[in-house]
Amino acid sequence: MSVLVGKKFPSLEVSAMNEMGDTIKVNVFEEAKNNGKKVLLFWYPKDFTFVCPTELHAFQAALGEFEKRNTLVIGASCDTPEVHFAWLNTPKDQGGIEGVTYTILADTNRNLSSILEILDVQDVIYDEDLDAEIVVGDSVTYRATYLLDEDGVVFHEGVNHMPVGRNVNEFLRLIDAFTHVQKNGEVCPANWEEGKTAMSADRKGTAEYLSKH
């Protein structure tokens, strides 16, 4: 997998489903650039599964906190817009995501997820009898997460194994830390949270911080 941190996110238009049930086109890079906002893009394996709805509801519950931080939240999977729409209209107590209001990408052709190299494709083998290449794996995405700054440059990326759900609060902390760096030019030490002491990026700064902690 190629590392995107410090690089511009791929500028590619992808189909999506919005909260009104409309299929639209979204370019995540342009969403950051054109709106002057940070973007959190999170990928999940499949609609109508088990861990996935807990994550989508968790991001929805924290949506106000992301908005306070000038950050757009966008979900994504390889399901179709129609499947997204059906899931959005399924009640929470039935495993659905009714009440989710942020945009969800439908990367059905897998163009963006292929560029990001986050698909569960374990191998591609040639079957002589069929005279065709066969994909080994589900070809759905891992739980990949990208944070983009206001210029569409990635400042965080991470990939979870499918059974392991994410901690939404950690992404809020990462946004706070990066914003502090942007505004103050300081660096944020281990376990830094908003309101805590940061430090200058030099030996003296490190020494002073360690002597107090």
Assess whether pLDDT exceeds 80 at residue 137: no
Tokens 């107090």 sit at which residue? 212
pLDDT at 132 over 90: no
Q: Backbone dihedral region of 75: left (phi > 0), alpha (psi from -120 to 50 degrees) or beta?
A: beta
Q: Transcribe 76-92 into DSSP letters.
A: EESS-HHHHHHHHTS-G
Domains and CATH numbers, the chain: 13-166 (3.40.30.10), 167-213 (no CATH)
How many percent of the chain have pLDDT more than 70? Answer: 99
Closest CA to 10 of 26, 29, 24: 29
Neighbours of 58 (CB within 10 A): 14
pLDDT tier for residue 69 given thresholds of 50, 70 and 90 = very high
For the segment 130-157, the average pLDDT, to the nearest whole number, is 91
What span, in angstroms and rounded, lies between the C-alpha atoms of 174 and 39? 12
pLDDT (0 to 100) of residue 125: 78
| Catalytic residue ranges | 52
Q: Which of 100, 87, 13 is nearest to 50 (CA)?
A: 87
How far is 207 from 199, CA to CA, in rounded Å? 10
pLDDT at 122 over 80: no
Nearest to 102 by CA among 20, 45, 166, 170: 20
Provide the mean pLDDT of the chain.
Answer: 93
Comparing C-alpha atoms, which of 115, 139, 97 is closest to residue 4? 115
Q: Which of 11-20, 112-121, 129-138 has the lowest mean pLDDT?
A: 129-138
